[in-house]
């Protein structure tokens, strides 16, 4: 087949057929066995007590599950998984990344949820609460405050690198990743599920190698299989279609972000056997037997914030993640090799960049719902481990804010968050569009933006004047509108922010397993690179070998080193 102009063709090395391996047998936790010895009537009473206790325990577990979706996941003893015993289940890793989610954000979501239950004196736990095992340091090679690229590369390659680096070390050399080794060395099923562009820094760092995170066009080519290793990803759910479309695609519905004429959707299908889907209808038709590899991308750029999401066009994170484990985690499909799945709550971070507390907490809540479903899946799958970690904290969020010269009252106001109906980003776009159409009147601002959008009917004269002056000044930056809207809500909620960027705050670490991996190794205070070391050890991976293979291809290395550190045309550069 003819290749597109300017395309570098790499020879695939170390394919699965060339690298036979013996499946690693993993130990199971030893269970103590208790034996009841006959002793007349006492023996009968003991049996009755044991039976009663077992029944009560089973009923309690059923009540605690409380999720009809989870109950649909086949258990170890269901006919759908045949006669597999616990030891037959292959290893699995679900690595969840809550981008920009710091300890204060956890408290924010927890208290807001309890307030919505009607009683802040009660403590209604969230899905992450009972699997907290410690916290992690987040600094990068180049700074005490990391960006998402360096943070994700620490998770994927197990090393420190500079901010902006995707799958490369501090010398800009490609580094092997967990996902690549899982596919090449272990023949595992692999997947990426995100609410950002699939080419964004976090998912890219597990399957791509560029010196600058903004080179998303190069990342897109590597994602479909244009690399020395060939295709290493089996499933992709998220956004970012614009980086796969040729520059000849210019309609509003199918925009391109590429500077060349490469049609990566076509190349993915013809050269790498991808099954490509681009809407919710196709997604709803996918089941556990969906043909792999498959990608389903739902938007030109990021998916919508959860508070704005149109359920007819975009699925929520929890639904995408659940479908992914149904497809990748089916024992008949992946036995005996297992699966490795990365799930990112991407837009938690972006809302914090805007200092938009309402969008932030709604995306956190959806992430918690995703954790709930993944815990339910892991409960039925021995030898599978769930890890949840943030790459960094964003925004410097505080619950409690002094908004004047008077000494502050000790409180914050969840009701100000509850009233918000749309994200600051969406409302900013509405105001900007109104300005462009010359319909940005003060009445439109008060009714459509403040009252209907933010739930604010007491806007001050200074707040109103800011928007009217912005309209008249032909400003250079649209970001300021979203920032101002977010601050209006934050001031009323008494929520503070220290930055529109990241902070160096340590982040919480969560882990849960049924049987198999020893998650005690993650307890306490660890460094972010230790996540990669733990997963590599459990799955018996060899990311050093992948690193050697990548760097042995001189053409690829030259292309990586030469990759441009440029900004792509996406507006705000959330990192």
Between CA 236 and CA 341 the distance in angstroms is: 10
Angle at CA 47, nearest 5°, toward 44 and 50?
150
Nearest Cα to Cα of residue 93 among 316, 381, 508? 381
Nearest Cα to Cα of residue 180 among 538, 537, 561, 545? 545
Residue 477 is among the residues annotated as catalytic for this protein: no
Half-sphere exposure of 39 (CA within 13 A, CB side): 8
Say how far residue 451 (Cα) sits from the centre of its chain: 32
Between CA 417 and CA 357 the distance in angstroms is: 7
Half-sphere exposure of 428 (CA within 13 A, CB side): 20
Query: Would you call 527 helix, strand, or coil by DSSP?
Result: strand
User: Under a CB-based contact definition with an 8 Å cutoff, are residues 353 and 501 in contact?
Assistant: yes
C-alpha dihedral over 564, 153, 274, 221, to 10 degrees? Answer: 10
The structure tokens listed for 23 are 């499946």
Between CA 153 and CA 161 the distance in angstroms is: 7
Between CA 13 and CA 552 the distance in angstroms is: 10
Between CA 427 and CA 40 the distance in angstroms is: 76
Q: Which helix (H) or strand (E) holds 149?
A: helix 148-157
The structure tokens listed for 572 are 């705000």
Which are the contacts of 62, defined by CB distance < 8 A and separation ≥ 6?
none
User: Residue 251, class by beta-carbon neighbours within 10 Å (0-12 exposed, 13-18 middle, 19+ buried)?
Assistant: exposed
CA distances from 406 to 397, 402, 409, 460, 462 (A): 21, 8, 9, 19, 20
Distance from first CA to last CA of the chain, Å, rounded? 38
Query: Would you call 543 helix, strand, or coil by DSSP?
Result: helix
Of the candidates 140, 148, 172, 249, the residue annotated as catalytic is 148
Between CA 529 and CA 91 the distance in angstroms is: 21
Q: Where does 381-478 have alpha helices with state H?
A: 414-418, 424-436, 442-444, 461-473
User: Under a CB-based contact definition with an 8 Å cutoff, are residues 166 and 205 in contact?
Assistant: yes
Question: Catalytic residue positions?
Answer: 148
């Amino acid at each position: 087949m003819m290749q597109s102009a300017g395309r570098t063709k790499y020879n695939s090395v170390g394919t699965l057929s060339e690298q036979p391996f013996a499946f690693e047998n993993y130990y199971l936790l030893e269970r103590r066995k208790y034996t009841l010895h006959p002793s007349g009537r006492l023996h009968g009473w003991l049996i009755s007590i044991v039976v009663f206790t077992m029944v009560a325990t089973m009923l309690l577990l059923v009540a605690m599950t409380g999720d009809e979706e989870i109950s649909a996941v086949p258990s170890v003893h269901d006919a759908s998984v045949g006669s597999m015993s616990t030891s037959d289940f292959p290893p699995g890793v679900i690595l969840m990344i809550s981008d920009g989610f710091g300890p204060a954000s956890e408290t924010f979501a927890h208290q807001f949820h309890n307030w919505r239950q009607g009683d802040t004196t009660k403590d209604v736990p969230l899905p992450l609460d009972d699997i907290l095992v410690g916290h992690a340091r987040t600094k990068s090679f180049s700074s005490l405050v990391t960006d998402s690229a360096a943070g994700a590369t620490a998770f994927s390659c197990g090393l420190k690198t500079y901010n902006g680096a995707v799958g490369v070390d501090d010398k800009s050399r490609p580094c092997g990743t967990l996902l690549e080794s899982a596919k090449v060395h272990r023949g595992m099923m692999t997947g990426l599920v995100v609410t950002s562009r699939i080419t964004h820094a976090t998912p890219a760092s597990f399957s791509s190698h560029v010196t600058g995170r903004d080179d998303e066009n190069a990342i897109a080519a590597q994602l479909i299989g244009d690399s020395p290793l060939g295709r290493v990803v089996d499933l992709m759910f998220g956004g970012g279609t614009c980086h796969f479309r040729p520059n000849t695609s210019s309609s509003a519905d199918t925009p391109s972000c590429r500077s060349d004429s490469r049609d990566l959707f076509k190349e993915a299908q013809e050269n790498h056997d991808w099954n490509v889907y681009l809407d919710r209808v196709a997604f709803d038709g996918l089941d556990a037997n969906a043909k792999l590899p498959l990608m389903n991308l739902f938007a030109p750029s990021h998916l919508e914030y959860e508070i704005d999401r149109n359920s007819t066009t975009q699925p929520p994170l929890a639904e995408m993640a659940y479908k992914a484990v149904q497809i990748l985690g089916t024992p008949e499909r992946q036995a005996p090799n297992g699966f490795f799945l990365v799930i990112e709550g991407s837009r938690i971070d972006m809302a914090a960049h805007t200092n938009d507390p309402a969008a932030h907490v709604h995306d956190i809540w959806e992430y918690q719902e995703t954790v709930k479903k993944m815990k339910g899946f892991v409960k039925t799958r021995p030898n599978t481990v769930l890890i949840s970690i943030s790459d960094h904290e964003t925004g410097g969020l505080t619950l409690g804010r002094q908004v004047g010269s008077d000494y502050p009252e000790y409180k914050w106001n969840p009701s100000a968050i509850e009233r918000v109906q749309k994200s600051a980003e969406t409302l900013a776009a509405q105001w900007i569009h109104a300005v462009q159409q010359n319909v940005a009147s003060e009445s439109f601002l008060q009714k459509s933006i403040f009252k209907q959008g933010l739930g604010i009917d007491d806007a001050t004269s200074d707040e109103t004047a800011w928007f009217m002056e912005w309209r008249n000044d032909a400003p250079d930056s649209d970001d300021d509108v979203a920032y101002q809207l977010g601050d209006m809500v934050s001031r009323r909620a008494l929520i503070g922010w220290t930055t529109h960027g990241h902070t160096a705050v340590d982040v919480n670490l969560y882990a849960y397993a049924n049987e198999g991996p020893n998650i005690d190794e993650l307890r306490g205070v660890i460094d972010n690179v230790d996540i990669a070391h733990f997963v590599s050890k459990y799955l018996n991976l060899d990311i050093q070998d992948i690193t050697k293979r990548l760097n042995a291809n001189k053409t690829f290395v030259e292309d990586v080193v030469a990759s441009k550190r440029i900004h792509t045309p996406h507006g705000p550069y959330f990192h």
